[in-house]
Structure 1
Amino acid sequence: HLYEESKKAEELYRSLIHSSADAIVIYDIEGKARYVSPAFTRIFGWSMEEVQGKRIPFVPESEREGTMAIIRELVDHGTPCHGFETKRHTKDGRTLDVSISASRYEDHEGKPAGILVILRDISERKKLEAQFYEAQKMESVGTLAGGVAHDFNNLLMAIQGNVSLLLLDTPSRDPGFKRLRNIEKQVQRGAYLTRQLLGFARGGKYEIKLTDINKIVQRSADLFSRMKKEIKIHSTFEPDIWMVEADQGQMEQVLMNLYVNAGHAMPNGGDLFITTENVVLSGDEGALLHLKQGRHVKISVADTGVGMDSGIIPKIFDPFFTTHQVGTGLGLASAYGIVKNHGGSITVKSARGKGSTFEIYLPAAEKEATPSRPRTDTDSEMAPGGETVLLADDEGMVIEVGREMLQRLGYTVLTAMTGREAIETYRAHKALIDLVILDMIMPDMTGMETYDRLKKEDPNIIVLLSSGYSIDGQASEILRQGCNGFIQKPFTMAALSRKVREVLGKTNGQG
């Protein structure tokens, strides 16, 4: 009867161990396996027959020391361990992240007889944690980059404004004229750098238009091939490509950054394959790319360059990470930020000596395109005016040059340095003011609040937004609310003059 009881108890314990979802190993005191559970075989690959009476060869070199210390503590002093995170190999050569709990068990005389080890595969959790930290890191560096770019753009604005005003008074044969033009060129280079930073910081998508991606790809590829004659470009376009809603300037920036990256990988020339296609993602495919299922436009950019080691691939979208001697390391980071900001995804496949392929997925637009009017402006064309403008900005330097630029263009200018002041000035001179140029970032209230309050004062108010950035997409939100236009600092006098005319609806007598 006693025998029956103990047999039943043994079967119960065996079935409990057998049914565990975590892997269970029972070792003797020498560290040789006496039993492995079915879950162990499923997770690590070795069967009971292969390891019974042997040591299991699954501790990586890097983990040996830590593991041995825990085992010694356990065997000598009986100290159990809980949730010890380490790594273990599988039979087929993969390495898994595992969490281990272990305890010593005694024989019927109360002497240590062996160790019971429970292993849980935590690879998936580790992967999710890594993704989460990565996202947080990108987020915080993005916020920093956006803030730097915003302040930097205000500085550039002051320099650009003063140069624009000096150029007005300097005849082109004057020796100083060329120097001023040079300064202007450097301001534009500075502005390009801050655009890269803002792209990474996922600053605003400013001018969202229904876009035929084929045209953008074609235009940027043509430009690149003029710069890099030694690279042969092969493009394959989906003839009826779906439209996407995109900021065309930013999308060109993304593509140029990818082409330039490919150029670095092929210093002695090579082939660049660019394709576009319509794809419909299933739920699972979408989940892998962190996208919703449904219609997307896919752009692939593949090169025949040197390729990348697997160690580099996870870092390539990090800001300031670069494997080249030249460049800022911002190109791919800004491409990543812009694509994410458009609700899309960017991935890379690469191997050393095999070239690299970047794939961009953008959600297809729901609505159909309306043809847009071609832009015919040249850079230096001035469009004067005579209306009254309220200029609201919290930077004294920007107010100073902005006022003078507008006055030189023929406008009467009122100024305000806070949101509150802007509202009071507008209230006092409502009948006179034809246009408000509003900076997005004000010390006392956000651009959004200021805009809303102005709109309450006068539903027909005409507002031109101006900003060094729009980190939280506020600009696009205000534009959606019916704001009349957006101008990115730093701007030239010519650009300001055209934008003001366009917003006032009297450009070239149209409106």
Structure 2
Amino acid sequence: MKNELKCWEFFGCSEEECPVYKLKKPRCWLVPGTRCRKESQGNVPEKIGMCLECEVLRANIDDDSVQETLRVVNEEFMQLKSMVDKRDRESEKVNMELALGLSEVFEALKKISSGDPAVRIPDTSGPELITELKHIVNLTAEELGEIVNLSHEFAIGLAEHFDVLHRVSEGDLTARVCGISQVELLEMLKKLTNQMIESAQREIAERKQAEKALKEARNGLEIRIKERTAELIRTNALLKQEIVERQLAEEALIRAKEDWENTFDAITDMVMLLDKEHQIIRVNRAVAEALNTAKETLAGKKCYEVIHRKSHPIKECPLMLTMKTLEHITAEITEPNIGGTFICSTSPLLDREGKLTGYTHTLKDITKSKHLEAQLRHTQKMEAVGTLAGGIAHDFNNLLMGIQGHISLMLMHIDSSHPHFKHFKGMEDMIERGADLTRQLLGFARGGKYEVKPTNLNELIDKSCEMFGRTKKEIMIHKKYQKGIWSVEVDQGQMEQVLLNLYVNAWQAMPQGGNLYIETINLVLAEDYARPFGLEAGNYVKISVADTGVGMDKATQQRIFEPFFTTKEVGIGTGLGLASVYGIIKNHDGIINVYSEKGKGTIFNIYLPASEKDVTLKEKRLADDNEPLRGTGTILLVDDEDMIVEVGQEMLTSMGYKVLPARSGKEAIEIYRRYNDKIDMVILDMIMPDINGGDVYDTLKEINPEIKVLLSSGYSL
């Protein structure tokens, strides 16, 4: 039952004599004899009209109270009806007794008027008037017996009286005894008779008037009861409608509350509602999950106690500024207690009148986005450095090619007995080391893949470990291979370079020797794991290379793949080894990451897309031959570098070929159009300023689909 409004509280009443106030009954309209607002009230039917207009009844009315009201009114009506019926029966009984008594009186009077003074009426109980009439008639009969022998005048007067009595007995109540009798007894009888008649008239008139009033009252009461009942029915219908509307409103309010609570809990950000003293009023599910506790346990606690585990607000908290300015404030904070970086937002809570009631405190976890931003910045930086490294490698390769070309030309004209032969060979060795450096730069710069083939990484790792183990015997190598490993499409030479660079990096981290752990495993990367690394979900092969070396700090890990970054002493490392590893793996649509702790070693993890193609064996390279190759035919040599064209033309000419030089793509196309029937092959540089090598190649293929072209570039192809 809902809380009911009490009339004595609503009106401030203290009427001690009021039964409602005395008994503390809330449904005052159902209690008879109340004293409402200084006025006494009757029973329920009499006062229900006024009660229907009362605020207390309208506030308390519901289905239960309406039914009880109808029940009480019906009971009152039935009691009143019972009283009316009882009074009707009593009236009928009295009327019957009155009629019987009058009949006896009239019968006795009739006998007396007929000269029978011996008649007597039994003096039984009955209406008072009839009893009195019977007594008078009996007295009259007695007196008549004594005066029967009086004079003729007395007889005449007596006859007159008997005549009047006879008329009264016949129902003529208008009859009167008139005239003047000289006999005192007759005068007395005359007077008594007239009084009796008048009393009977009055009694009958009063009875009729009472019956009429009672009938009118009964009819009026029935009409009022019908009207009140109809009004109650109408009021009941209205109240039922109002109750239904209230129930619908309450249900809508409950649904709205549930929707708000569900929405509040569904917010992935951590949301707290605070009072003016930093105390928590309410939190959503995200806060409870972050703190690993129930929501209910946080209410009443200070926000800085549960979030920061401090006894006072932190300096970075924007809530302090919101309290001063009543404005929305946002700040970025790092909170180790709940782990991560957050956007902290605070706003004032105002009521309808604009008064401050509290604050909202929101924490949005941006740890992943910060990590992705860092990855993006790192990727962009590596792309930029890669572009720079590629350009440097391209120009450096051209320089090396020019130097190598001139040295080769000189070596073609001397033998080992020449005093400068040893110096020229030393220069060739330096050029080869320079070429290795450019290869590392091009590997980082994603300068292209050489020969991509389906490869078994277990076999490739075995070969690289055998090569590395022969020279670094102080390192214990532990291998754990995936059975049935999936194939990957890689350039085997580049992957050997990747593995050897990682082995060397591990060896340098373990100067006193140590353990090197290498493991392969088949993996299926889900989208939520692959997406942050820019990978497609699917099958991958993972290579883990772990050492027990000195490890590195986080700052070093963030820069470990940058070109020319090294922690080694000057002259020991170039800072290109891991940079080329990074570039080669990226060039194969894979990723590499590193995990390390100071004093606990380092782990490099490589993820390469798996292939459904069968593994092909690596082809053996032709043995080196010191004798220069010779041939015949016409070659179109295309390069925008004059030194390359000059050295290349001289070398090819010395080998027996006729050379047509072209220093741009446009010139190459013109020459080929003119001499395509005489040109046997084209050596084409891919990087040129006017028309790039790819477009030149397409144009030449249009001219002659059977053309033979050797592509050349300072970049890897």
Question: Is 1:417–2:663 an aligned residue pair?
Answer: yes
Indicate which of 647, 661, 671 corresponds to 1:401.
647
Indicate which of 226, 230, 244 corresponds to 2:474.
230
Question: Where do 1:250-399 residues align within 5 Å?
Answer: 250-281=494-525, 286-287=530-531, 290-325=534-569, 326-369=572-615, 373-378=619-624, 380-399=626-645
Q: Is the 2:344–2:362 contact (alpha carbons within 8 Å) kept by the matching residues of 1?
A: yes
Paired amino acid for 2:324? D
Question: Is 1:84–2:328 an aligned residue pair?
Answer: no
| SS of structure 2 residue aligned to 1:246 | strand
Equivalence for 2:341: 97
Q: Is the 1:80–1:102 contact (alpha carbons within 8 Å) kept by the matching residues of 2?
A: yes
| SS of structure 2 residue aligned to 1:452 | helix
Q: Distance in 2 between matches of 1:295 and 1:12?
A: 47
Question: Is 1:54–2:296 an aligned residue pair?
Answer: no
Paired amino acid for 2:315? E
Q: Is the 2:290–2:338 contact (alpha carbons within 8 Å) kept by the matching residues of 1?
A: no
Q: Deviations over 1:248-285 (max 9, x none)?
A: 22111111110111111111111223334555555566
Equivalence for 2:433: 189
Unaligned runs of 5+ in 1: 476-511
More divergent stretch after superposition (405-414 vs 271-280): 271-280
Equivalence for 1:446: 692
More divergent stretch after superposition (171-180 vs 150-159): 171-180
Unaligned runs of 5+ in 2: 1-57, 60-245
Q: Distance in 2 between matches of 1:276 and 1:16?
A: 51
Between the aligned residues of both structures, percent identity stands at 48
| SS of structure 2 residue aligned to 1:29 | coil
Q: Distance in 2 between matches of 1:365 and 1:27?
A: 56
Q: Deviations over 1:353-389 (max 9, x none)?
A: 3322323232333333455652232163422112211
Q: Is the 2:340–2:366 contact (alpha carbons within 8 Å) kept by the matching residues of 1?
A: yes
Offset, 1:151: 1.3
Q: Is the 2:520–2:542 contact (alpha carbons within 8 Å) kept by the matching residues of 1?
A: yes
Offset, 1:448: 1.1
Q: By percentage of residues, which structure has more helix?
A: 2
- Report the RMSD for the aligned CA atoms in angstroms: 3.2
Equivalence for 1:464: 710
Q: Distance in 2 between matches of 1:24 and 1:369?
A: 55
Q: Distance in 2 between matches of 1:365 and 1:215?
A: 16
Q: Distance in 2 between matches of 1:7 and 1:279?
A: 53
Q: 1:286 to 1:427 in 2, by over 3 A?
A: same
Q: 1:417 to 1:37 in 2, by over 3 A?
A: same
Structure with greater contact order relative to length (CA < 8 Å, sep ≥ 6): 1
Question: Is 1:73–2:317 an aligned residue pair?
Answer: no
Offset, 1:45: 3.7
Q: Deviations over 1:71-119 (max 9, x none)?
A: 34322232222x5333334xxx342322233222357986645322233
Q: 1:371 to 1:88 in 2, by over 3 A?
A: closer
Paired amino acid for 2:494? Q
Paired amino acid for 1:23? M
Q: Distance in 2 between matches of 1:443 and 1:103?
A: 59
Offset, 1:321: 3.0
Equivalence for 2:416: 172
Offset, 1:418: 0.9
Offset, 1:160: 1.3
Q: Distance in 2 between matches of 1:189 and 1:84?
A: 53
Q: 1:210 to 1:184 in 2, by over 3 A?
A: same
Paired amino acid for 2:472? K
Equivalence for 1:437: 683
Offset, 1:41: 1.6
Q: Distance in 2 between matches of 1:280 and 1:73?
A: 49
Q: Is the 1:18–1:38 contact (alpha carbons within 8 Å) kept by the matching residues of 2?
A: no
Paired amino acid for 1:271? N
Q: By percentage of residues, which structure has more strand?
A: 1
Q: Distance in 2 between matches of 1:371 and 1:218?
A: 14
Question: Is 1:41–2:285 an aligned residue pair?
Answer: no
Offset, 1:416: 0.6
| SS of structure 1 residue aligned to 2:565 | coil
Q: Distance in 2 between matches of 1:293 and 1:27?
A: 43
Q: Distance in 1 between matches of 2:453 and 2:627?
A: 25
More divergent stretch after superposition (399-408 vs 96-105): 96-105
More divergent stretch after superposition (102-111 vs 131-140): 102-111
Q: How many residues align?
A: 464
Q: Is the 2:478–2:516 contact (alpha carbons within 8 Å) kept by the matching residues of 1?
A: yes
Offset, 1:48: 4.2
More divergent stretch after superposition (114-123 vs 159-168): 114-123
Q: Is the 1:33–1:56 contact (alpha carbons within 8 Å) kept by the matching residues of 2?
A: no
Q: Distance in 2 between matches of 1:464 and 1:366?
A: 31
Q: Distance in 2 between matches of 1:155 and 1:282?
A: 47
Question: Where do 1:99-114 residues align within 5 Å?
Answer: 99-105=343-349, 112-114=356-358
Q: Distance in 1 between matches of 2:563 and 2:296?
A: 49
TM-score (norm: length of structure 2): 0.59
Q: Distance in 2 between matches of 1:19 and 1:207?
A: 56
Q: Distance in 2 between matches of 1:283 and 1:244?
A: 20
Question: Is 1:148–2:399 an aligned residue pair?
Answer: no
More divergent stretch after superposition (220-229 vs 417-426): 220-229
Q: Distance in 2 between matches of 1:400 and 1:425?
A: 17
Q: Distance in 1 between matches of 2:321 and 2:618?
A: 75
Q: Is the 2:319–2:361 contact (alpha carbons within 8 Å) kept by the matching residues of 1?
A: no
Q: Distance in 2 between matches of 1:140 and 1:422?
A: 32
Q: Is the 1:233–1:274 contact (alpha carbons within 8 Å) kept by the matching residues of 2?
A: yes
Q: 1:194 to 1:31 in 2, by over 3 A?
A: same
Offset, 1:236: 4.3
Q: 1:426 to 1:15 in 2, by over 3 A?
A: closer
Offset, 1:13: 6.8
Offset, 1:300: 2.7
| SS of structure 2 residue aligned to 1:459 | coil
Q: Is the 2:638–2:665 contact (alpha carbons within 8 Å) kept by the matching residues of 1?
A: yes
Larger Rg: 2
Q: Deviations over 1:319-378 (max 9, x none)?
A: 333232231222112111111211223233333333223232323333334556522321
Equivalence for 1:16: 260
Q: Is the 1:75–1:112 contact (alpha carbons within 8 Å) kept by the matching residues of 2?
A: no
| SS of structure 1 residue aligned to 2:688 | coil
Q: Deviations over 1:114-170 (max 9, x none)?
A: 322233223333333332222222222211211111111111111111111122223
Q: Distance in 1 between matches of 2:701 and 2:352?
A: 86
| SS of structure 1 residue aligned to 2:563 | coil
Q: Is the 2:453–2:616 contact (alpha carbons within 8 Å) kept by the matching residues of 1?
A: no
| SS of structure 1 residue aligned to 2:586 | helix
Q: Distance in 2 between matches of 1:387 and 1:103?
A: 83
Paired amino acid for 1:306? V
Q: Is the 1:59–1:87 contact (alpha carbons within 8 Å) kept by the matching residues of 2?
A: no
Offset, 1:403: 0.9
Q: Is the 1:242–1:365 contact (alpha carbons within 8 Å) kept by the matching residues of 2?
A: yes
| SS of structure 2 residue aligned to 1:76 | helix
Q: 1:412 to 1:145 in 2, by over 3 A?
A: same
